[in-house]
Amino acid sequence: MRVEMLIVPDCPNGPVLKERLALALAGRTDVELTEHVIDDQTEARRRGMHGSPTLLVDGRDPFAAPGTPASVSCRLYRGADGRIGGAPPVEELRRVLGAPTTGSADRAAGRAGQGRLAPIEGGLRAVQQAVLRAFATTGAPPEQDELESASEPFAVPAAQVLAELAAEDFLTLDGTGRVQAAYPFSATATAHVVQIADGPRAWAMCAIDALGIPVMLGADAVITSTDPVTGDPVRVEFTGGRTTWQPASAVVYYGARAGNGPAAAVCCGYLRFFTSRATAERWTGRQADLSGTVLEQAEAQRLGADIFGPLLTPPAE
C-alpha cells in the first residue's frame, strides 16, 4: 500500500497527522509512507491535494467528496463523534487503511490521536515547552519563576496553565500542583533512564517516550532499561544519526490496560523494552485486561520520533 501525506510548508496539522498515522500503522510492514510539501495551487492540482494536510492512499483521497477542488488552504476533518480537527481520527485512518481497530494504547499514548504538542492559545505550548526544556537541561521540572515567565506574555497564571495541560494529558501534577511528569519525561525514577549527551540523566515515562527524547532534542543519548521478565539489560544508543540496540533481538511492547484515563495511568507501565519477542509474549501472557502489539526496533523508533519529535518546534511566525 502506498500512503502519501501532502502538506503546505509549516502546516501545524502535519505533525498531528503524522503521529496519528504512526499509531494507525503500528505493526504494519506493508505500507510505504512518504511526505510531500506543496507550496502552490498548480502542484496541488497535479498531486490531488484538497487542503493541508491531505492523505492519499494508493493515489486516492479517501476523505474528499467527489468534485472537491484542489486547494492549498487549511483543511478540517469531522470525526464520527462530530468533533472537527485538523487531521482524521486514528480510528478513521485505520478504517481507510484497512487496519484493525485497537483501543487503549492508541487512545492514551496519542491523546486519542490528537497529538502531544499543546495548542499555542492561552500559553499552553509556551509553558509545555518551558517544562520540557527544563527537563532536557536539568533532568527535573522547572522552578515556579520559570513557569511564570513562560505564561506571563499570555496574562494567565502559570498554575492555571499547568492545570489545563494536566486536564488535557500533556503532563501530570502531584498533590501540590508541581509537575510530576511531562511526556516524555518523568520527575521520579522509572525503569527507563536516558543519559543525554552533554546533558543530564533523565527518566522517561515509557519505552516509546525514551526513544522520542533524542529525536526531540536532536541530541545523542543512551537509553538503558531492563527486561521485566529476565531482568537483563536493554541498551539503545543514539550516536551521530545511527542507533544501536543491545541485544540485537530487543523489541518494545506497545500496550495498555482496559479503561480510560491519562497515559501515565493507562499505558505507560505497559510500553516496555524486552530482550526478545519471546520474553515480551511471555510477559503479556501474565497480564490481565491488556491489549497491544510487539513492535520491532524500527517501528518503535518511528513511533517515538513521530509523537515526540515535534514537541520543541518553535511556533510558525
CATH of the domain at 27: 3.40.30
Domain that includes residue 269, residue range: 192-308
Q: What is the CATH number of the domain that holds 288?
A: 3.30.450.410
- Judge if pTM exceeds 0.75: no
> Are 55 and 127 in a shared domain?
no
In a domain, 63, yes or no: yes
- The model's confidence at residue 39, banded by pLDDT at 50, 70 and 90, is very high
Average of per-residue pLDDT across 213-217:
96
- pLDDT for 111 equals 52
- pLDDT for 103 equals 44
In a domain, 185, yes or no: no
Q: How many residues does the chain have?
A: 317
Over the stretch 56-106, which tens digit does the pLDDT of each residue have?
Answer: 988 889 998 777 889 999 999 987 667 788 999 887 888 888 754 444 444
Last residue of a domain, one of 99, 131, 165: 99
Q: 28 versus 151: which is more confidently predicted? A: 151
| CB 99 within 8 Å of CB 119 | no
Q: Please tell me the distance from the alpha carbon of residue 268 to that of residue 185, in angstroms, as a whole number.
A: 11
DSSP state of 60: B
In a domain, 275, yes or no: yes
Quick one: how far is CA 63 from the chain centroid?
23
In a domain, 36, yes or no: yes
Q: What is the pLDDT of the chain when averaged over all its residues?
A: 88
- The model's confidence at residue 315, banded by pLDDT at 50, 70 and 90, is low
Quick one: how far is CA 247 from the chain centroid?
25
- pLDDT for 107 equals 43
Q: 298: which residues sit within 8 A by CB, 6+ positions away?
A: none
Q: Please tell me the distance from the alpha carbon of residue 135 to that of residue 251, in angstroms, as a whole number.
A: 26
**Cβ neighbours of 145 (radius 10 Å):** 9
| CB 228 within 8 Å of CB 272 | yes
Q: Please tell me the distance from the alpha carbon of residue 305 to that of residue 260, in angstroms, as a whole number.
A: 25
The total of structural domains in the chain comes to: 3
In a domain, 293, yes or no: yes
> Are 270 and 248 in a shared domain?
yes
Average of per-residue pLDDT across 298-315:
86
> Are 250 and 285 in a shared domain?
yes
- pLDDT for 89 equals 86
- What value does the CA radius of gyration of the chain take, rounded to a whole number of Å? 20
Average of per-residue pLDDT across 292-297:
88
> Are 41 and 89 in a shared domain?
yes
In a domain, 313, yes or no: no
Cα angle 154-157-159, degrees, rounded to a multiple of 5:
130
> Are 77 and 126 in a shared domain?
no
**Cβ neighbours of 177 (radius 10 Å):** 13
In a domain, 105, yes or no: no
240, three cell numbers? 551521530
Quick one: how far is CA 313 from the chain centroid?
14
In a domain, 114, yes or no: no
Q: Where are the alpha helices (DSSP H) in the chain?
A: 14-25, 41-47, 90-97, 104-109, 124-138, 144-151, 158-167, 207-217, 263-266, 277-284, 297-308
> Are 203 and 163 in a shared domain?
no
Q: Please tell me the distance from the alpha carbon of residue 23 to that of residue 35, in angstroms, as a whole number.
A: 16
> Are 289 and 197 in a shared domain?
yes
Q: 161 versus 313: which is more confidently predicted? A: 161
